[in-house]
């Protein structure tokens, strides 16, 4: 192909097109204007105009998680770029592949405190896997190729490409999009594990009597769900998903346990506590899972599969670390694993499951958040794509929305970003247009990004919002209740009339405060072919149980006291 | 016990790389005792020698592996336990009068690689190149004469093995006894 002369902005569009990107989220502004001029000529790239750059970043993240593809977000220099940062941090912590493109002030203006100038590559070093400041238009194709490659390879994450306005305007030679990445000697993902490490893991697994698997997002990211199921069934090992690993193992499988950790199920915590081997596949041992390090799985040796060497030994020492892609590692491991039965261990697991179930409370005719999530689960057959905010409703959704669909549970785990739920639901819905997407929100988080309702209306994205309205920062209140002697400080988040708000944004709004209206509201939302907001008025005093206070262990776990007050067998499982 | 660790890294010679490397130490609150950087055997790469004190092995394992994740970093080796040579240079401005100048030159004769490189009426500038311990013992001997200004380069180090390191090489601390990390 003969060389063409293209402007920097066109080179960016060419790169997006060559990467197969058909959907991007962004907000224009001065420094990025040349790009926005050129994208008009690329109708295959649909640009979604979010109302805030944070929304663009979260939408790209929700899209990426729902589809497994790289999400793309775009912003201008200065405030636009910094507004992306919380979204980049969210993606960074949860290993979501993102390419962020930001405009920068012109090359001669850099470093002169120009209007809307921020050192964006400097600001985003801690929240990106890598970033670039592109100083020549002719570098754009290579940089974009590398950015996509880095974003999606090894442990995925966000990569930011900062391009000065005059570079977007500069004419460069274009000899086609690079076929391969040739010059990244410092980026060498370890995809295939060392056989000795795999043997070490296999030896521990074959010798274990009471093993348990902790399955994280790495399983989903590498598509290792079949291998995980093979391993669990072959060696009869129960599987605890992490918050981000929900869907990596079928939720209805007899070996599936609920989450463990701070708000995990009591039975999963007891299982981990009694296990003699804990096999972590694709999780980094978050502190919400381990609590007090010294008391975490105290009888267990640790096998740790992770593609990121820096996650090994980070929080928990691994007796048998395996660095590599989860799918490749499990494929190498499986032939070494002896088929076995463990009637004793599995019956002990079942006893624990029976004795310490997750329960759904009743509140005299008022629906509990748990109950509402349970009904959404049942009325969607557990098949919906769930996007959540952060806090109490998130924990209840993770406990009660049991699913067997990989990548269908979308939540900000590592960074715990409130406000994620609105734009991420938009991104997930646009990536999966034929799926039913439910955004389970708290009223406080919803108010942080509700401006994206306009984007959702414009894009006709039929997201079903279920706002659990307790008029408070519920989880903050829970901590103040339990650990600050009920000294409530700055937690009243009473918002607008959400039904009227829905109408203002051109979508139906439904308010529910009676338990008998829950089902009809959910069904009404399902039947409507556009976005809907259902506002559920829920109790302020609901607390998420079980709870292991921060930095403590299963020995300090508090189960729901309500359970003991009920006649035996009446508490709903 | 003071634990000094020496890390050698090969990095791209590009703007911002130093920032990325320093960032890794900064976010963990580790103080870098010295960091030297300069051209390496390959034109597009620089070599860094990073010295840190009192960093627990498990934490250093994290830092070196996180350092390795930095895309601009091509190779990271903890060479503390290797057979390596290390040198630093110090420029020392010492008060020196007609009476004391001779005594100072006498002290320098005790050291290999130490010489006066500039003389002024009331001071001299001394250059010394050697292992850190040698630099420190010279400084101790010069202390009574009043050190007016001191500039040390920090350590540069190379392992003695006769192979060139490979791109993508990584070696962190061996984590001896790290089981206690959990139990």
Task: Kindly tell me the sign of the dihedral angle through the C-alpha atoms of A49, A50, A51, A52.
Answer: negative
The answer to whether residues B152 and B90 touch, using CB atoms and an 8 Å cutoff, is yes
A188 touches chain B (CB under 8 A): yes
Nearest CA in chain A to B27: A126
Residues in chain A within 8 Å Cβ distance of B167:
185-186, 188
Query: B137-143: long-range contacts (C-beta < 8 A, 24 or more apart)?
Result: B138/B90, B138/B92, B138/B107, B138/B108, B138/B111, B138/B114, B139/B90, B139/B92, B141/B107, B141/B110, B142/B92, B142/B94, B142/B104, B142/B107
Residues in chain A within 8 Å Cβ distance of B27:
126
Å from A333 to nearest chain B CA? 24
- One DSSP character per residue, A347-360 reads HHHHHHHHHS---B
Per residue of chain A (573 residues), give pLDDT as tens: 568 999 999 999 999 999 999 999 999 999 999 999 999 999 999 999 999 999 999 999 999 999 999 999 999 999 999 999 999 999 999 999 999 999 999 999 999 999 999 999 999 999 999 999 999 999 999 999 999 999 999 999 999 999 999 999 999 889 999 999 988 999 988 899 999 999 999 999 999 999 999 999 999 999 999 999 999 999 999 999 999 999 999 999 999 999 999 999 999 999 999 999 999 999 999 999 999 999 999 999 999 999 999 999 999 999 999 999 999 999 999 999 999 999 999 999 999 999 998 888 877 788 999 999 999 999 999 999 999 999 999 999 999 999 999 999 999 999 999 999 999 999 999 999 999 999 999 999 999 999 999 999 999 999 999 999 999 999 999 999 999 999 999 999 999 999 999 999 999 999 999 999 999 999 999 999 999 999 999 999 999 999 999 999 999 999 888 767 765 544 444
Residues in chain A within 8 Å Cβ distance of B57:
none
Neighbouring-strand partners of residue B126 = B92, B116
Which site among A313, A315, A316, A319 would you substitute to test the B interface, given the most B Cβ atoms closer than 10 Å to its Cβ? A313
Nearest 5°: CA angle at B98, between B94 and B101? 45
> Between B23, B68, B182, which is nearest A294 by CB?
B182
Residues in chain B within 8 Å Cβ distance of A187:
71
The pLDDT of residue A225: 98
The answer to whether residues A231 and A333 touch, using CB atoms and an 8 Å cutoff, is yes
The pLDDT of residue A160: 98
Cα–Cα separations (whole angstroms), residue A270 to A157, A247, A303, A553: 33, 22, 19, 10
B65 touches chain A (CB under 8 A): yes
Residue ranges of A 288-327 with Cβ closer than 8 A to chain B: 293-294, 296, 302, 308-310, 312-314, 316-317, 319
Residues in chain B within 8 Å Cβ distance of A188:
167-168
Mean pLDDT of chain B: 90
User: Exposure pattern of B34-66 as b/e (b: 16+ CB <10 Å)?
Assistant: bbbbeebeeeebbbbbbbbeebebbbbbbbbbb
* A220/A248 Cα distance (integer angstroms): 6
Which site among B69, B70, B76, B78 would you substitute to test the A interface, given the most A Cβ atoms closer than 10 Å to its Cβ? B69
Taking an 8 Å cut-off on Cβ atoms, the answer to whether A122 and B69 are in contact is no
The pLDDT of residue A572: 43
Give the rounded percent of residues in chain B with a pLDDT score beyond 70. Answer: 93
Taking an 8 Å cut-off on Cβ atoms, the answer to whether A317 and B178 are in contact is yes
Six-digit token string for B148: 């007016």
B84 touches chain A (CB under 8 A): no
Å from A124 to nearest chain B CA? 11
> Between B12, B23, B178, which is nearest A126 by CB?
B23
Å from A125 to nearest chain B CA? 7
Residue ranges of B 161-180 with Cβ closer than 8 A to chain A: 167-168, 170, 175, 178-179
B181 touches chain A (CB under 8 A): yes
* B77/A20 Cα distance (integer angstroms): 39
* A464/A455 Cα distance (integer angstroms): 14
Taking an 8 Å cut-off on Cβ atoms, the answer to whether A310 and B62 are in contact is yes
Residues in chain B within 8 Å Cβ distance of A313:
58, 61-62, 175, 178, 181
> Between A126, A150, A293, which is nearest B182 by CB?
A293
* A96/B134 Cα distance (integer angstroms): 50
Tell which residue, A392, A451, A397, has the closest CA to residue A419: A451
Cα–Cα separations (whole angstroms), residue A103 to A30, A32, A119, A181, A236: 8, 4, 11, 24, 53
Which parts of chain B have pLDDT scores under 50? 1, 177, 180-181, 183
> Between A187, A308, A316, which is nearest B182 by CB?
A316
The pLDDT of residue B183: 43
> Between B16, B168, B181, which is nearest A121 by CB?
B16
Taking an 8 Å cut-off on Cβ atoms, the answer to whether B58 and A313 are in contact is yes
The pLDDT of residue A175: 94
Six-digit token string for A377: 């689960």
Q: Is A388 helix (H, G, I), strand (E, B) or coil?
A: strand
A44 touches chain B (CB under 8 A): no
The pLDDT of residue A567: 57
Residues in chain A within 8 Å Cβ distance of B70:
130, 186
Record the pTM: 0.95
**Helices within chain B (DSSP H only):** 17-27, 57-69, 98-108, 132-142
A496 touches chain B (CB under 8 A): no
Residues in chain B within 8 Å Cβ distance of A122:
16, 19
Place of tokens 């502004």: A29
The pLDDT of residue A536: 98
Place of tokens 């890598």: A130
Nearest CA in chain A to B22: A125
């Amino acid at each position: 192909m003969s060389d063409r002369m293209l402007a920097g902005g066109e080179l960016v569009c060419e790169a997006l097109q060559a990467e197969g990107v058909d959907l991007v989220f962004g907000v224009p502004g001065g420094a990025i204007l040349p790009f926005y001029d050129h994208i008009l000529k690329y109708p295959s790239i649909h640009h979604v105009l979010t109302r805030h750059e944070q929304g663009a970043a979260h939408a790209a993240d929700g899209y990426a998680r729902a589809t497994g593809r790289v999400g793309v977000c775009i912003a201008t220099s200065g405030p636009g770029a910094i507004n992306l940062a919380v979204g980049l941090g969210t993606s960074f912590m949860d290993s979501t592949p993102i390419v962020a493109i930001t405009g920068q002030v012109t090359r001669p203006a850099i470093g002169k405190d120009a209007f809307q100038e921020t050192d964006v590559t400097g600001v985003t070093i801690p929240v990106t896997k890598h970033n670039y400041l592109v100083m020549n238009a002719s570098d754009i194709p290579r940089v974009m190729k590398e950015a996509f490659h880095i974003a999606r390879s090894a442990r995925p994450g966000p990569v930011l490409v900062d391009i000065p306005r005059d570079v977007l305007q500069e004419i460069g030679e274009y000899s086609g999009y690079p076929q391969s990445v040739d010059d990244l000697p410092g980026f060498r993902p370890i995809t295939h594990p060392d056989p000795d490490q795999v043997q070490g893991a296999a030896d521990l697994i074959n010798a274990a009597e009471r093993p348990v698997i902790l399955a994280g997002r790495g399983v989903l990211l590498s598509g290792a769900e079949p291998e995980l199921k093979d391993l669990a069934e072959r060696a009869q090992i129960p599987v605890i998903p992490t918050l981000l690993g929900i869907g990596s193992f079928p939720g209805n499988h007899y070996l599936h346990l609920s989450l463990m950790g701070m708000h995990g199920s009591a039975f999963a915590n007891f299982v981990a506590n009694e296990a003699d081997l804990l096999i972590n596949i694709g999780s980094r041992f978050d502190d919400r899972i381990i609590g007090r390090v010294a008391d975490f799985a105290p009888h267990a040796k640790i096998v740790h599969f992770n593609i990121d060497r820096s996650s090994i030994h980070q929080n928990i020492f691994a007796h048998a670390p395996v660095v590599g892609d989860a799918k490749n590692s499990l494929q190498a491991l499986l032939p070494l694993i002896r088929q076995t039965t463990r009637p004793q261990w599995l019956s002990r697991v079942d006893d624990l499951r029976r004795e310490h179930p997750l329960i759904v409370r009743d509140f005299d005719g008022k629906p509990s958040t748990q109950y509402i999530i349970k009904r959404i689960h049942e009325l969607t057959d557990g098949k919906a794509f769930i996007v959540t905010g952060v806090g109490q409703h998130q924990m209840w959704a993770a406990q009660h929305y049991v699913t067997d669909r990989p990548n269908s549970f979308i939540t900000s785990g590592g960074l715990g970003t409130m406000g994620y739920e609105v734009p991420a639901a938009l991104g997930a819905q646009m990536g999966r247009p034929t799926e039913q997407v439910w955004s389970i929100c708290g009223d406080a988080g919803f108010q942080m990004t509700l401006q994206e309702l306009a984007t959702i209306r414009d894009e006709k994205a039929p997201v079903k919002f279920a706002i659990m309205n307790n008029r408070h920062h519920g989880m903050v209140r829970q901590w103040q209740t339990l650990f600050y002697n009920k000294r409530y400080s700055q937690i009243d988040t009473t918002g607008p009339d959400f039904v009227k708000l829905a109408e203002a944004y051109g979508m139906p709004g439904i308010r529910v405060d009676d338990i008998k209206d829950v089902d009809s509201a959910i069904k009404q939302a399902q039947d409507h072919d556009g976005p809907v907001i259902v506002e559920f008025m829920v109790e302020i005093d609901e607390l998420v149980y079980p709870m292991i206070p921060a930095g403590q262990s299963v020995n300090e776990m508090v189960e729901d006291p309500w359970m003991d007050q009920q006649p035996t067998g009446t508490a709903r499982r | 016990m003071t634990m000094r660790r020496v890390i050698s890294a090969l990095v791209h010679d590009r703007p911002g790389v130093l920032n990325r490397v320093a960032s890794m130490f900064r976010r963990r609150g580790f103080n870098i005792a010295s960091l030297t950087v300069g051209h390496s055997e390959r034109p597009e790469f620089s070599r860094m020698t990073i010295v840190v004190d009192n960093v627990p092995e498990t934490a250093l394992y994290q830092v070196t592996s996180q350092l390795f994740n930095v895309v601009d970093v091509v190779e990271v080796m903890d060479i503390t336990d290797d057979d390596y040579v290390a040198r630093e240079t110090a420029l020392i401005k010492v008060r020196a009068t007609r009476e004391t100048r001779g005594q100072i030159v006498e002290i320098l004769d005790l050291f290999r690689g130490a010489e006066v490189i500039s003389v002024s009426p009331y001071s001299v500038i001394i250059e010394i190149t050697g292992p850190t311990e040698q630099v420190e013992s010279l400084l101790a001997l010069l202390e009574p004469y009043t050190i007016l200004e001191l500039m040390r380069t920090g350590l540069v180090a190379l392992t003695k093995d006769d192979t060139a390191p490979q791109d993508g090489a990584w070696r962190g601390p061996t984590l001896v006894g790290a089981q206690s990390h959990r139990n």
